[in-house]
Amino acid sequence: MRIKKMINNILSSIMLVIFILLVVAVVLSKASGGEPAFFGYQIKSVLSGSMEPGIQTGSIVALKPGGDMNRFKKGDVITFRNEDNLLITHRVVEATMNSATGQAMYRTKGDNNDAPDMNPTRSTNVVAEYTGVTVPFVGYAMNFAVSKAGSVVLMIVPGLMLLLYALYSSWKAVAALEKKNAPILPASPPPTEIQ
C-alpha cells in the first residue's frame, strides 16, 4: 500500500512538471517570436545534417547570443544568417580581420560537408555561439510545438491529462470513502445442528 502511494505521488509530480514545462515552452516560444530562450541561451532546432555526427538532424542546440562577434577563431562553432536570411550553424575554418572596417570575416564549413561554404560570413551576420549543448531528436518536437497545430495540441493535451488525472483521483477518493464508511456486518453464528 505504501509503495502504491509513493508511485502515485511520483507520477503526480512528473505529470505536473511535464505540464508546467509544456506551458512554459509554448508561452516562451510565442513571446520570443517562435524560438524559446532559457536563462539567456537561445534554443534552436537543427534542420540539416551538415554538422553530423556532432550535431544530429532533429536535435536542439543551446546558443549564447551577444558579445563581441569579432572574437571567434578557427574551430569555434557559430550560428549566422546567410544571404537568404536562414540561420546556419557551422564551424569556423578561417577567421580574418578587415582592418579598414574593423569587421571579422569567417569562412565556415559544416563538419559533414566536403567543402567550405561558398561565401564568407561577416561578423555582423553572426547571431550566436554554439555552447556545445545538444539534445537529440527534441528538435522535431520543438518544430511541431511552434506550429499552429502543435500549439493547439500542447494546450489541449496537458489540460486533458490533468482532467483525466483529476477524475481518476476523485474516483479513488470516493472509493476509499465508501470502503471506510461501509457498515460492518456482524459475523453470522455457525449453523446449529437440529436433531
Residues with a catalytic annotation lie at 48
Q: Dump strand ranges (E) for 52-138.
A: 60-65, 77-81, 87-98, 103-109, 121-122, 126-135
Helix, strand and coil in the chain, % to nearest 5: 40, 25, 35
User: What angle do the packed helices 2-31 and 138-145 form, to 10 degrees?
Assistant: 60
Residue with cell 544568417: 81
Residues paired with 45 in a beta bridge = 60
Q: How far apart are CA 149 and CA 143, in angstroms?
A: 11
